Structure 1
């Protein structure tokens, strides 16, 4: 008999804790886990043979649902292949529950197959790591397994969200007989955690409002954050009625107000930064893309800096942090506007902060926007910058755009509010190129929206195994910028001038996405010039199945246009 009842009950605990999606990679040692979840009727199962892709597909699903997704793999190096996705989920605060099958403890380092040191394999990149017993004979072992399953599920979905790992040593035999049923125990114990919403005491609000009143120049800056109508409405009211500039990269998803500052990446290098330095900086969200913005705040630190975050880490990116305010951005900005607005109404007064400060930021933003438009209008050749601009303007309102790292995210960020009609996602937790295809696949499996991925050729080739999932979602559309290598190394100082550029940095290649598309039954389009792009983009957008548009560009022309854009803005400032 090989019915491992505690593992069947583990699946039931996860279901009772609200988990509904499981991403499974095939393997033998993990058979008992796979069967426990696959035979449970409450889960939606996704089978992905490559664990590295599986991790990112799970991340994409969890990112869309804002719920925990389970990963299951066999023992050995399979578990290590989850590491890039686990790390990204940790820094992007996405909820995953990783179940890695393992050999029993006594067989580690005894030359047994698929046996490595799996306990705490992900180090500090998980919220917590557990290893459950491999022997189920004692009631305390059963108690521990049940308690661990409940604790891990609760922890993964407690703010800040993140990955949690359970290592599961499993003894043979672990395949049930054909006639054996896998039924959860009647007395499976479920431990629930009551959800609460963080609020600030009245005394704290008084202190914060006093600091607000003392500041003449107030700047709000958003890092990576999912689109939130509540947050964007509150920020719109603050910038319009209180004359406070609101700045955000494309991944901040600040929508619905043309007053938001979006071209900071283009103008801060040439602006009079003393005029833009804040007295009070209020930040929220995760990472910022714009290096110019980060350097500006690091070189011009604010007197006071509030960071709105329910994270327990002290994040002091700009060398100026004075207050961590542990509430959600939705809650904070909605509340502070209401309190200030009421205070001004009662006093019959106008805001005391310097309204010219917002005008200065807005003036720089509008000028950068105008210069960028002039520059783009004068470009006649197809290159990465012009093709991204054309594609972005062609995408329908409300679409999701997933963006790979390296140059694609930089192109999009430079386009400022030209992407405000799109919901933006990018793996900026670690900012690696791995997993971008798989993440977009995971998102498209769930969101039922038209889901676009903008990706460079190297990142696409690096993550092709995500396309092995069957069936691929019909709502997924991929745009590949193929410049035959890692074109970013022509853009940045250092490698661009080295004789080793092509061989050791760009790693030139002759691969295309055509055969990959054929193998994956993806409808394929390719363009080499503007006429081709204008002709093919409507066909690409109107297909009702998974499709891929490959845009071929010249790396030297790409570098010329990117550097030319910055030179044009600088020389006309």
Structure 2
């Protein structure tokens, strides 16, 4: 229970203004990491019933937790920290938010400018620390009406003249307040409109804990208004109708981004092949959702095999694509034209980007298919599907022969996943193995693919799970899990949360890459071989734990793993470290 009366506010105008603007812009989820310099902000957020506040000590974990919340809310979530090195721990999540288009509002308390680089503790140069990876920033000006005596006594300050009168301070404060309100209004609007990270730096002077009953009312407020762009789509209709070999390649998309009518139109067009990934959240029996199972077997068959599937027109949707093989293929055998359909940005991933269509994909295809559209005569769909189906049949035969390994563990897991689930995947091996197996239609899939780092997978999953009613499963590798183990250090775990750890005693994916394996140098600095397990860690945080070492025990355990329980559950699967790479590589060889 708060020690402050309900209608009290920070006596520092700047702190009260920041809180007020978050309230006005409906940024109501606030993840706070404890500190002293951010006390006025914490007071304002926790003392207002319009905010839902969270307390997470580790700033790196806190930022990824907030990213998971924002991922599900599709609206900005704020993180609040004290001054100094605390702020720098947000950077991994800031960069992920930037490349994944997730609205994250970083609010950092700071010392006043003249207190930086003079030898005071927990002071660093905070403005511009995230600058290349922000949609916008507001580096606010400190108040001169608060702690005025302390301010005037400091010979280094340049905010006001040393002999400033009370009237001078009052006029300067009005000017500062107007400027800060305009900056806050602009930066928060950009977080909402651009769906990306912003940084608000808030310099605060002691005393920090004083309150007032006088509420500050901002004067400079505007609604976020998107720019309206007129796009002539008629030429796209003509090009679509004339292309005999079209590939639609879909990266990261939220569930329900494109309706079934559009998906069915794609599927029935003989000139179209749709390549999806698990993070595309698009499912249809005619889509190719194991891209590497199409491309990897062709790598041994020469250029003619790739020329057969080389498209005339490539249309890409969504965010980052996992498959390196499809990137290499399209860079070496480029389409004649490449359109990227995205209302915000387009990457020239395949080096031949010809058009960035700044529309939502649903809007684009609604228009495209509203025009007369006679499917062109083409055997592209049937030819590519024939190759793909043949590869999958060979792969299925191979899977029946393999020993217990990462590949077999993923096959067993995916065969046991409930029909309706919120699935979070860690990066590296996990997301790549996941591409090879089917999922039920109503499983929604998320992964931090913006920067593809392993550093915040668990924290993101915990935050996302807190805002979904569905049961959540996180599948992660051992290094990803242990790296982000502070994700366990909060009180926001739901009892229906499940974690599966594939523990192959190191960075197993490095065994697939070139290098002299099984040497002291390789084991220590590349694969990072270890003998850790999650049993004691799970126990210390009050989570249920079990482990398996074989396929039949895994099948048995999964029969009860998703059933209701009174606390979250962790299942650790131990696989043989030295065979996983051979089993996976032989899987693709078996398809040739």
| TM-score between the two structures when normalised by the length of structure 1 | 0.92
Offset of 1:232 from its aligned partner? 4.8
Residues 230 and 309 (structure 1 numbering): CA distance in 2 closer, same or farther, change over 3 Å?
closer
Q: For 1:338 and 1:98, how far apart are their aligned partners in 2?
A: 43
Q: For 1:222 and 1:414, how far apart are their aligned partners in 2?
A: 16
Aligned to 1:351: 375
1:64-79 equivalent positions in 2, closer than 5 A = 64-79=72-87
Q: Secondary structure at the match of 1:364?
A: helix
Structure 2 residue 509 is the aligned partner of structure 1 residue 513: no
Aligned to 1:475: 496
- 1:153-195: CA deviation from partner (whole Å, max 9, x where unpaired): 1100113x1100011111111112xxx4466324554321235
Instruction: Using the TM superposition, name which of 507-516 and 418-427 deviates more.
Output: 418-427
Aligned to 2:161: none
Offset of 1:564 from its aligned partner? 1.9
User: Runs of 5+ in structure 2 lacking a partner?
Assistant: 1-8, 146-172, 299-304
Q: For 2:347 and 2:111, how far apart are their aligned partners in 1?
A: 39
On the 8 A contact 2:38/2:83 being kept in 1, the answer is: yes
Q: For 1:496 and 1:227, how far apart are their aligned partners in 2?
A: 40
Aligned to 2:63: 55
- 1:4-43: CA deviation from partner (whole Å, max 9, x where unpaired): 1332232122121121211100000110111111111101
Aligned to 2:235: 207
Please identify the structure whose Cα radius of gyration is greater: 2
1:188-227 equivalent positions in 2, closer than 5 A = 189-195=220-226, 200=231, 204-227=232-255
- 1:77-116: CA deviation from partner (whole Å, max 9, x where unpaired): 1000000000000000100110011111111111110001
Aligned to 1:347: none
For the aligned residue pairs, the C-alpha RMSD in angstroms reads 1.9
Aligned to 1:287: 320
Aligned to 1:551: 573
Offset of 1:407 from its aligned partner? 0.6
Q: For 1:452 and 1:182, how far apart are their aligned partners in 2?
A: 46
Aligned to 2:182: 147
Offset of 1:220 from its aligned partner? 0.9
On the 8 A contact 1:479/1:551 being kept in 2, the answer is: yes
Counterpart among 508, 522, 535 of residue 501 in structure 1: 522
Structure 2 residue 280 is the aligned partner of structure 1 residue 259: no
Counterpart among 72, 90, 93 of residue 98 in structure 2: 90
Q: For 2:258 and 2:99, how far apart are their aligned partners in 1?
A: 24
Q: Secondary structure at the match of 2:386?
A: helix
Residues 409 and 59 (structure 1 numbering): CA distance in 2 closer, same or farther, change over 3 Å?
same
On the 8 A contact 2:498/2:570 being kept in 1, the answer is: yes
User: Runs of 5+ in structure 1 lacking a partner?
Assistant: 345-349
On the 8 A contact 2:270/2:382 being kept in 1, the answer is: no
Offset of 1:521 from its aligned partner? 0.9
Counterpart among 107, 112, 116 of residue 104 in structure 1: 112
Q: Secondary structure at the match of 1:333?
A: helix
Q: Which runs of 4+ in 1 moved over 6 A?
A: none
Structure 2 residue 5 is the aligned partner of structure 1 residue 5: no
Offset of 1:199 from its aligned partner? 5.5
Q: For 1:183 and 1:92, how far apart are their aligned partners in 2?
A: 40
Counterpart among 333, 358, 363 of residue 300 in structure 1: 333
Q: For 2:213 and 2:328, how far apart are their aligned partners in 1?
A: 58
On the 8 A contact 1:8/1:182 being kept in 2, the answer is: no
- 1:516-566: CA deviation from partner (whole Å, max 9, x where unpaired): 111111111111112221221122211333111000111112122112212
Instruction: Using the TM superposition, name which of 28-37 and 489-498 deviates more.
Output: 489-498
